[in-house]
C-alpha cells in the first residue's frame, strides 16, 4: 500500500516498502520544502512527478550509479576535452541551468521539473546543497547539469545540451572534479544509454543504502567556486 506523507513530519517509510511496479514508488504527498528534500535524499529517495500529479517519491531497485574511478571517456570526447572548445564553470548560474533542464524535450511530453520543483531546488542551491555545472561556448550557455552534494555523495538530477556534446563535456568535467574532491559515488537514479556510456551501472538498492549510511556525513575537499 502506498504511504501518504504528512506535512508535519519529514519521515519516509523504509525503502523496502517501495513498490515493485511501478519500480521504486515509495510514497506520495508531503511538500517540496528544503528540509524534506534533504531528508529524502539522505533516506535514499527522490521526487519525480508531472504537473497535475501529487508529489511522488521514488527509490528504484536496482539503483543506477557511477563510481568516479570508473568513468569512461570515449576517444572523441577525450579529444574534445583536450581542445577546450567549451568552457566549464560551477555554480555560476544555477537558475539558468535548471530552467534549461525544464524546457520541453523532443522525445518527451511535458516536464517533471515543474515551477515548484525549480523553486525548491533554488532554495537548496541557496543553502549550498544543490550545485550547477555550466558549459559555455563564448558567452552562450550551451549545456549543463545540476544535482545535490551531501557528504561524499553527489545526487545527479538533470542535464541539458544545446550544442554537440556540451552536456557530455560538463558531466565528464564534473566527475573528474568529484573524484579529485573525494566523492565516492554519483547517484544517477534511473538507467539511460547515455549514462551507461560513461560507465554507470546498476547496484542493489540495499547496497546503495549502505553507501548512504557510510558516506553521507563524511567531509570532502569540494570547492565549487574555485
In tens, the pLDDT along 55-80 reads 999 999 999 999 999 999 999 999 99
Is residue 110 very low, low, confident or very high in pLDDT (cuts 50, 70, 90)? Answer: low
User: Is the pTM for the entire model greater than 0.75?
Assistant: yes
Residue span(s) of the chain under CATH 3.40.630.70 come to 62-214
The reported pLDDT for the residue numbered 51 is: 85
Which among 88, 23, 31 is positioned nearest to 58, based on CA atoms? 23
Residue span(s) of the chain under CATH 3.30.70.3550 come to 1-59
CA distance 18 to 35: 21
pLDDT tens digits along 212-222: 999 999 999 99
Domain 1-59 has CATH 3.30.70.3550: yes
CATH of segment(s) 62-214: 3.40.630.70
pLDDT tens digits along 168-201: 999 999 999 999 999 999 999 998 998 999 999 9
When pLDDT is averaged across residues 80-89 and rounded to a whole number, the result is 95
Kindly tell me if the per-residue pLDDT of 52 is higher than 90: no
Distance set, CA 116 to CA 13, 49, 169 (Å): 23, 11, 29
What is the SS3 assignment for 213? Answer: helix
In 31-116, beta strands by DSSP E? 46-47, 56-58, 63-66, 87-90
Amino acid at each position: 500500500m502506498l504511504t501518504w506523507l504528512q506535512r508535519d513530519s519529514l519521515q519516509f517509510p523504509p525503502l523496502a516498502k517501495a513498490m515493485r511496479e511501478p519500480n521504486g514508488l515509495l510514497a506520495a504527498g508531503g511538500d517540496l520544502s528544503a528540509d524534506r528534500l534533504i531528508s529524502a535524499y539522505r533516506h535514499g529517495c527522490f521526487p519525480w512527478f508531472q504537473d497535475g500529479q501529487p508529489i511522488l517519491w521514488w527509490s528504484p531497485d536496482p539503483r543506477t550509479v557511477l563510481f568516479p574511478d570508473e568513468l569512461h571517456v570515449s576517444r572523441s570526447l577525450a579529444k574534445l576535452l583536450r581542445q577546450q572548445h567549451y568552457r566549464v564553470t560551477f555554480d555560476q548560474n544555477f537558475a539558468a541551468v535548471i530552467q534549461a533542464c525544464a524546457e520541453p524535450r523532443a522525445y518527451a511530453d511535458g516536464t517533471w521539473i515543474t515551477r515548484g520543483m525549480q523553486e525548491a531546488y533554488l532554495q537548496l542551491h541557496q543553502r549550498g546543497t544543490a550545485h550547477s555545472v555550466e558549459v559555455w561556448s563564448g558567452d552562450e550557455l550551451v549545456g549543463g547539469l545540476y544535482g545535490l552534494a551531501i557528504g561524499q555523495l553527489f545526487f545527479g538530477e538533470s542535464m541539458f545540451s544545446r550544442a554537440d556534446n556540451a552536456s557530455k563535456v560538463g558531466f565528464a568535467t564534473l566527475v573528474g572534479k568529484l573524484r579529485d574532491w573525494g566523492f565516492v559515488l554519483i547517484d544517477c537514479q534511473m538507467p539511460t544509454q547515455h549514462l551507461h556510456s560513461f560507465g554507470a551501472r546498476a547496484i542493489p538498492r540495499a547496497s546503495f543504502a549502505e553507501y548512504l549510511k557510510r558516506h553521507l556525513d563524511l567531509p570532502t575537499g569540494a570547492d565549487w567556486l574555485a
